[in-house]
Amino acid sequence: MPDLSTMPKAELHLHLEGSFRWSTLQEAMLRHHGKGLPATPSWYHSGHRFHEFGEFLRLFQDYVDPWLSTPTGYREILRDVVEGLWLQNVRYAEINFSLGLVERIGHPLERVLEWLQSEAELAHQQGLEIRFFAGINRHRGSEQALKWTQQVCQASIVTGIDLHGNEVGWPASLFETAFQFAQEHGKRVKVHAGEMVGPQAIRDAVGLNITQIGHGTSASQDPELMERLRDRQVLLELCPTSNERLLNIPSYKAHPIFALDQAGIPVTLNSDDSAFFGINLTQEMHRLMAERQASISDLKRWTTHAFKKAAIDSATRQAFLLELEAWTPSDQQMIAAGPS
């Protein structure tokens, strides 16, 4: 397996609260709460599946809430996520942070935004461009979504909003007012759609002028929708291992990344929540090469889509694209990567 660690990368779909390294959580839980954690959690096993979304969400309550509730928790998670990206030579990342979790933990939003700003500035000095998206929980309803959007749209560190959470019963159309407010204030809007339900969820989002979809795997069930995504160049943030572990696809080999790519839709590759799926972006790339015969050309093309969509100036974009074009894997052989 070629060494992909030096490949210039971009990741558009990762959640701050689920993208830290397990070893860092182990140290933090011991230091803050005197609680020891296993070296490798059971859900890192390749055969593990979350049989319902609530089972997955409970991991955040059990492991993330106690960490974030400490005075330094947010800063520690931020620093670890940024360092983990830097070690993979990720050059650009869009990180989603949950407004509902900020509210639940009780930290002042203004303080959290200050921490995000500080970490983004530090990352920039290290050659990593980070953009933060405020995650809005569907199940809190449209009125709360608008209130949250109004709160964050004045913050320059927030690039946009991202609608996430359980899709069942919560179509994107319910949140149109919040989307419009964000767009009128110069913010981007992303929507998780077509992950847990069928292609109609993607149609709803695209009908609201959304051009960046989290997951979107069910688009492969609708040829007419795929043509629409291709014609409008709607970008899909695909997360194969996440979809497998949450049982949103029958199997890893059945993931439609190649079908969507071959249809001319700009797709990107992402890890989603590496702390709970046990795989980071570099490892996801290795897995696709090993199990789906993805090529270096595929990986470069999908990364190119991400750089082209990135919220960066044209000079920085061109520099990243030239760096990616010039990169070739070394002859070094490496053992297939394990859990993150």
**Domains, the chain:** 9-324 (3.20.20.140)
Cβ within 8 Å of residue 218, ≥6 positions away: 194, 195, 197, 198, 199, 201, 202
Sequence-ordered alpha helix ranges (H) in the chain: 22-33, 53-59, 65-68, 73-87, 99-105, 109-125, 141-152, 176-184, 200-206, 223-232, 240-245, 257-262, 274-277, 281-292, 296-309, 314-326
Per-residue pLDDT of the chain (340 residues; tens, 9 = 90+): 899 999 999 999 999 999 999 999 999 999 999 999 999 999 999 999 999 999 999 999 999 999 999 999 999 999 999 999 999 999 999 999 999 999 999 999 999 999 999 999 999 999 999 999 999 999 999 999 999 999 999 999 999 999 999 999 999 999 999 999 999 999 999 999 999 999 999 999 999 999 999 999 999 999 999 999 999 999 999 999 999 999 999 999 999 999 999 999 999 999 999 999 999 999 999 999 999 999 999 999 999 999 999 999 999 999 999 999 999 987 554 444 444 3
Contact 219, 202 (CB under 8 A): yes
Scored b (16 or more CB within 10 A) or e, 274-310 reads bbbbbbbbbbbbbbbbeeeebeeebbbebbbbbbebb
Confidence (pLDDT) at 334? 45
Confidence (pLDDT) at 331? 57
123's tokens = 């990352």
Query: Whose CA is closest to 237, among 18, 16, 85, 13?
Result: 13
Torsion of CA 96, 98, 99, 104, to 10 degrees: -160
285's tokens = 């790339």
Burial classification of residue 251, based on how many CB atoms lie within 10 Å of its CB (0-12 exposed, 13-18 middle, 19 or more buried):
exposed
Confidence (pLDDT) at 338? 42
This prediction has a pTM of: 0.95
Whole-angstrom CA distances from 200 to 14, 21, 110, 178, 263 are 24, 35, 37, 20, 18
What three-state secondary structure class fits 271? coil
Contact 265, 236 (CB under 8 A): yes
For residues 192 and 169, give the distance between their C-alpha atoms in angstroms, rounded to a whole number: 13
Query: Whose CA is closest to 133, among 158, 102, 108?
Result: 158
Q: How many CB atoms lie within 10 A of CB 41?
A: 18
Cβ within 8 Å of residue 49, ≥6 positions away: 244, 245, 246, 247
* Size of the chain in residues: 340
For residues 210 and 190, give the distance between their C-alpha atoms in angstroms, rounded to a whole number: 7
- In this structure, which amino acid lies at residue 248? N
